[in-house]
Amino acid sequence: MSTSLATLIADIDRADSPERLIAAVQALAAARLEGGIPTLIRALGFNNPGAAVTAVKGLVQMGEAAVMPLLTLLDDYNYGARAYAIRALAAIADPRALDVLLSAAEADFAPSVRRAATKGVGQLLWLKLADSERAIAQSRTYDTLVRILDDADWSIRYAAIAGLQALGQSTPDLQPQILETLRTLADSDIAVQARVQWAIATLQSPQPVPNSFPGSQTPIPNP
């Protein structure tokens, strides 16, 4: 295995065109080797969107194993790479990423990153936390999402409602509070209002909303 890992990494470093680079990152991702994780993270910073998206997919497939490397190798200086890392962490949904996702949700300067983090933080896999930490983490997430409801950007507020809905679905203890917040929310934007209505309907019905159509692929962890 180690020879093939070394070869796969060497192929990435040898790639002399954007297409070959994407293919090499793809090959490393497909091998699903833990030893390849740092190189996949490095690929987030190659300034090649195709390679970065491929690497994000590979990291998400690695799941939990990729979380600590992503957190420790998070690039504070390369904004592009950081955005992809945040997206990967949001998709893996491991609660060890909580602090990083909360600060990205509140303060990243790229709206696309804020949206991904804001939605993602609501659907973390809370059961992976120790009992003693869980309620605190969930309540911090709630507080942050509620603050984000005041954002000037409709799309960020929209993401916060998606995040609150997911949090309500995964956290029965917070559901009454979240429903109350949503019911009393007066948003000026018609799209945000619609999302609020949908979130309320979803949280109120144990079954999928009558109108929701099959084929929706928004995975919402509901332990």
Q: Does 195 bind another protein (CB under 8 A)?
A: yes
Q: Quick check: 24 and 8 in contact, CB under 8 A?
A: yes
Cα dihedral 40→45→51→57 (10° resolution): 50
| Element housing 17 (H / E) | none
Nearer to another protein, 28 or 148 (CB): 148
Could you please report the per-residue DSSP string of 113-161? HHHHHHHHHTT--GGGS-HHHHHHHHHHHHHHHHHHTT-S-HHHHHHHH
Question: What's the min distance (Å) between Cβ of 115 and another protein?
Answer: 4
| Cβ 86 to another protein shortest distance, Å | 12
The interface with another protein within residues 137-176 (CB under 8 A) comprises: 151-156, 158-159, 162
Would you say 33 or 199 has its CB closer to another protein? 199
| Residues 58, 25 contacting (CB under 8 angstroms) | yes
From 109, 130, 184, 206, residue interacting with another protein (rule: CB under 8 A): 109
Centre a 10 Å sphere on the Cβ of residue 92 and count the other Cβ atoms it contains.
22
| Smallest distance, another protein to C-beta of residue 112, A | 5
* Structure tokens belonging to residue 16: 């002399």
Determine if 112 is a binding residue for another protein (CB under 8 A): yes
Q: Which residue, 31 or 201, is less far from another protein as judged by CB?
A: 201
Q: Report the interface residues with another protein, using CB under 8 A.
A: 109, 111-112, 115-116, 118-119, 151-156, 158-159, 162, 190-191, 193-195, 197-198, 201, 209, 211-213, 216-218
